Amino acid sequence: MALSDFFRINLPYGIHRNSNNEWSAFNREYMPLGWNETNIIDTTGITESGTDKPIYTKYSKLTEKKLLEIAGSVNMVNYDSEGKIYRVFLYDDGSVPSRKNQSKKDWDSYFEKIKMLSGLIVIEK
């Protein structure tokens, strides 16, 4: 699936946990979104040297229960070999909010998940 529009490129398809229990948002092609370090930004924008920076962040109170609440369904999560959630999807092929003729319900569901993610608090390093 090609990155063919603003939604697929710039809005989260899901979040993914790394081995340090840190999380990162990714787009429809599983490419990372966002930056979490301000030292890579100068007055003209993101510098070239910033492209190798990690984008993972630790959040407080991000429990398995909260992850399932965000996902909305056990079918919208992936589990690792230890049975812990390592990936949460915000929509699936049947509920892509930006798809032509998609229902308002799919947009509402997507934005409710974004609201829940927006409320997460960073654990300072």
Q: What is the pLDDT of residues 24-35, one digit of tens each?
A: 999 888 888 876
| Residue 117 falls inside a structural domain | yes
Question: Residue 65, CB half-sphere, CA atoms under 13 Å: how many?
Answer: 1
Q: Is residue 105 part of a domain?
A: yes
Contact 116, 88 (CB under 8 A): no
d(CA 86, CA 78): 6
Is residue 92 assigned to a domain? Answer: yes
Query: Which residues fall within 8 angstroms of residue 69, CB to CB, at 6 or more apart?
Result: 116
Total domains present in the chain = 1
pTM, whole model, 2 decimals?
A: 0.82
pLDDT at 124: 82
pLDDT in tens, 49-99: 444 555 789 999 999 999 999 999 999 999 999 999 999 999 998 898 988
Q: Count CA atoms closer than 13 A to 50's CA, side-chain side.
A: 14
Name the residue range of residue 90's domain: 6-122
Max CA pair span of the chain: 44
Q: Is residue 1 part of a domain?
A: no
In a domain, 101, yes or no: yes
In a domain, 22, yes or no: yes
